[in-house]
Amino acid sequence: MTINVHQAKRLYDLGAVFVDVRPVREWSWGHVYGAVHLDLQDGFQGLAQPQWPRQVPLVVYCDSEVCPSGAEAARMAVDWGYVQVFYSAAAISPGNWRTIRRARAKPASSAS
């Protein structure tokens, strides 16, 4: 299922496992706090191992709105039996998280 950044933030708050499929160089530029780094080209296949619980919600992401690697990783996870796989087509970047935090921090305006 494709989700937007607000839905991703909600899943994050609920404890979903975030999987960053970017190359290590891009991971080092910044990532979602607590995310698992499984580069699609080097490491993602580890999710196929039976010790990973298939019921855990996974949010697969990159850092751009067009990310074929993320879509492919989500498809692979479903093929391996994961039942709650979400793909964030929206860029999940520190800027997006800050925007959400600011929106939540603003006080509600009162009508006069």
CATH code reported for the domain at 2-104: 3.40.250.10
Sheet arrangement for strand 2-3? 2-3, 85-88, 58-61, 17-20, 36-37
Nearest to 86 by CA among 66, 65, 60, 63: 60
Q: Report the mean per-residue pLDDT for the chain.
A: 81
Q: What is the CA radius of gyration of the chain?
A: 15
Residues of the chain with pLDDT under 50: 100-112
The structure's pTM equals 0.79
